[in-house]
Chains A and B, each alone.
Chain A
Amino acid sequence: MKLLTRTTYYFLLYSMIAMIAAGFVFYYSIRSLVYNQIDDSLITEKTIIQDQLEETDTIPDFAASFGHLIEVKLLGKPVSYSQTIKDTVLYDSKSQVYLPFRHISVSGSTHRHTSYSINIYQILDENQELLDRIGIGMFLLFLTLLLLSLLVNYLISKNIFKPFFRAVNEAAAFNVLSDRRVELTDTNIDEFRQLNMVIDQMTRKMRSDYINLKEYNENFSHEIQTPIAVIRSKLDVMMQNENLDREAINAITSINEATSRLLKLNQGLLFISRIENLQFEDTIELSLKNRIEKCIDNYEEILKLKEISIELDISDPGIVRMNEILADVLISNLISNAVRYNIDGGFIKCLLDNRNITIINSGYPLDINPELLFDRFRKNAGNTQSVGLGLSIVKKITDHFGMKISYTCSGSTHEIKIQYRP
């Protein structure tokens, strides 16, 4: 729910409560006003009739002309004076309903000891009308308020909240990889100005931290190559010594393996950071079909030796605009994975149509969710040989060209699908 919707909601809720309360107050105060008036007119009429009675001791004949229901009776026996005003209902035989009336009832005697009773009824039909009027009035007021608040809402969100929405959009669009700065609208509203300031500082900090970190990584990866080259060359020389004992051989082998591992890690990471640094930006139109065939050619003999059957189902040349090196690395990583993690006598199916590359191969069941293998350094349990960067490089490349990739594994069948065309 939007902030403005919520505030409006509460505003309307409370104003409705206030209006209902106000309606009640209005109703009762106006009603008492009306009653006072009715009572006054009833008392006036009564007084006129009383005066008449005092003078003549007969029932005045004009009594009906007040437009009220008037009942004057002369009583045989003396009564003490009493006067009551109250609400009552009378049955109307014409419309066959009970109607509300205000009723004054007086009994007393004149100075000549003539007892009388006076009943005057005033119909209270105005009462209902009053209630209706107030109700309608309140409703109209509420409606006006609703429309007004919607209008105000619209204007506020259009104008006052503009910098806020701008800031939110900019913050959402912020990408630490790109050096596009967030552009915020100037505002004279303190809260928004503060927000802008915070977003600006935060994004700048993130960007500079990221650049520092990236530079550190690059420098590190780059600089570490020379020492590795030295170690490797020394090992190559040492190995040629014919007088090495078993212990020395084992040590050299271990060092050699560790160095290779270090080197592969470093090369993998360097490669990823080069993709991130957009160092593979020159693209050409190339045929995935050709690349796949060339790559499979490279493994032809190994496939034969491992007795892996390979099936190519290529229904499209797979023309795509990509960087050549990245395309080769992508294809060769996929195929070499399919070969390496295959079983003797297994199969590889490679499908290429006008949208997807799909590589299906036999292998070993996975212990983890296959999609996790796209993470850096993620490996299936028991795989100690791999450094765990191959698939994350693949993912990096597909991300770089906006391609979708999925990895599914059912039992011992693995399937990697890349949608290279949207």
Chain B
Amino acid sequence: MKLLVVEDEKSLSRSICEYLRMEGYICEEAYTLKEAVRKIADNHYNCIILDIGLPDGSGLELIRLMKESKSTDRIIILSARDSLDDKLTGLNIGADDYLTKPFHMAELSARINSICRRSDFEGLNELNFNEITIKTGENEAFVKNELLNLTRKEYDLLLFFMANANRIITKESIVEHLWGDNVILTDSFDFVYTHVKNLRKKLMAKNCRNYIKVIYGFGYKFCDS
């Protein structure tokens, strides 16, 4: 999987890449619009993470260029929180997803994961972790082909965990993932705690091992060890 991060804030760009490389992606960087245009012309990327505010132009131009050249590269827009219009325009002209800055890496990773799944395993839409399978098309999760009876939030949580398997994810990023950023106030971690507890209970009832590890101070890690 090859990704391109188009972001003029070098420090941010570098840590995005560093994180995504840990996830096993091949990650390239572009700091300007010009650089991005050149890289896109020469390479095929599975997903482009695109900042709208670039020093030499708007990221939206890049989307237009790509659509003109019938590029099939997927695009995730990174936008500032108060530029709602950019977000809407971006989606209208062909971006696949958007994320407002600042965001959690786990969230970005989950979005990339979801987009790549959609594009590369057309019709399959499956996510696996040992005996657990999630069929994203049907919004269903299975343990050894046995349907898991999950609530909507538990399902979302499991998907989020599995998209970020073997990574530490913070309680905050879970809150934002489950309740969205519209709910400015929902920062109560009790909610996460109870959902995690229930999800774990349901998985273990199906004889799964305890994959959800509590990581002291940080949050959780979905891993097999």
Which residues of chain A have a CB within 8 Å of any CB of chain B? 222, 225-226, 228-234, 236-237, 239-240, 246, 249-250, 252-253, 256, 260, 263-264, 267-268, 270-271, 274, 279, 298, 300-302, 305-306, 325, 328-329, 332-333, 336-337, 340, 385-386, 389-390, 393
Contacts A230-B15, A333-B185 given; does A270 touch B82 at CB 8 Å: yes
- Check if B179 is an interface residue, CB within 8 A of chain A: yes
Contact assessment for B102 and A256 in the assembled complex, using a CB-CB cutoff below 8 Å = no
Shortest distance in angstroms between A253's beta carbon and chain B's nearest beta carbon?
Answer: 4
Q: How far is the CA of A337 from the CA of B183 in the complex (A)?
A: 10
24 A-B residue contacts at CB 8 Å? A222-B82, A229-B12, A229-B102, A230-B11, A232-B102, A232-B104, A234-B11, A236-B15, A240-B168, A246-B216, A252-B218, A256-B170, A260-B187, A267-B81, A301-B152, A301-B195, A305-B195, A325-B84, A325-B182, A336-B183, A336-B185, A386-B185, A390-B185, A393-B184
Shortest distance in angstroms between B5's beta carbon and chain A's nearest beta carbon?
Answer: 11
- Check if B16 is an interface residue, CB within 8 A of chain A: yes
**CB-contacts of B1-44 with A (<8 A):** 9, 11-12, 15-16, 18-19, 22
Q: How far is the CA of A159 from the CA of B102 in the complex (A)?
A: 61
- State which of B19, B103, B184 has its C-beta within 8 Å of the C-beta of A240: B19
**Chain B contacts of A230 at CB under 8 A?**
9, 11-12, 15
Which residues of chain B have a CB within 8 Å of any CB of chain A? 9, 11-12, 15-16, 18-19, 22, 80-82, 84, 101-106, 151-154, 167-168, 170, 172, 179, 181-188, 191, 194-195, 198, 216-218
**Chain B contacts of A252 at CB under 8 A?**
217-218
**Chain A contacts of B104 at CB under 8 A?**
232, 236
Shortest distance in angstroms between B123's beta carbon and chain A's nearest beta carbon?
Answer: 30
Contact assessment for A240 and B188 in the assembled complex, using a CB-CB cutoff below 8 Å = no
**Chain A contacts of B186 at CB under 8 A?**
336, 340
Shortest distance in angstroms between A310's beta carbon and chain B's nearest beta carbon?
Answer: 16
Q: How far is the CA of A230 from the CA of B18 in the complex (A)?
A: 13
Interface of A is mostly: helix
Contact assessment for B217 and A249 in the assembled complex, using a CB-CB cutoff below 8 Å = yes
Of A253, A328, A336, A390, most B-chain CB atoms within 10 Å: A336
Contact assessment for A233 and B184 in the assembled complex, using a CB-CB cutoff below 8 Å = no
Contacts A237-B18, A253-B218 given; does A305 touch B187 at CB 8 Å: no
**Those 9 A-B pairs whose CB atoms lie nearest each other, nearest first:** A229-B102, A236-B105, A233-B15, A253-B217, A249-B217, A305-B194, A390-B185, A229-B101, A230-B12
A332 closest partner in B (C-beta): B183
**Chain A contacts of B172 at CB under 8 A?**
256, 260
**Chain B contacts of A234 at CB under 8 A?**
11, 15
**Chain A contacts of B151 at CB under 8 A?**
300-301
Shortest distance in angstroms between B46's beta carbon and chain A's nearest beta carbon?
Answer: 21
Q: How far is the CA of A368 from the CA of B103 in the complex (A)?
A: 35
B173 closest partner in A (C-beta): A236
**Chain A contacts of B16 at CB under 8 A?**
233
Contacts A228-B102, A236-B105 given; does A328 touch B182 at CB 8 Å: yes
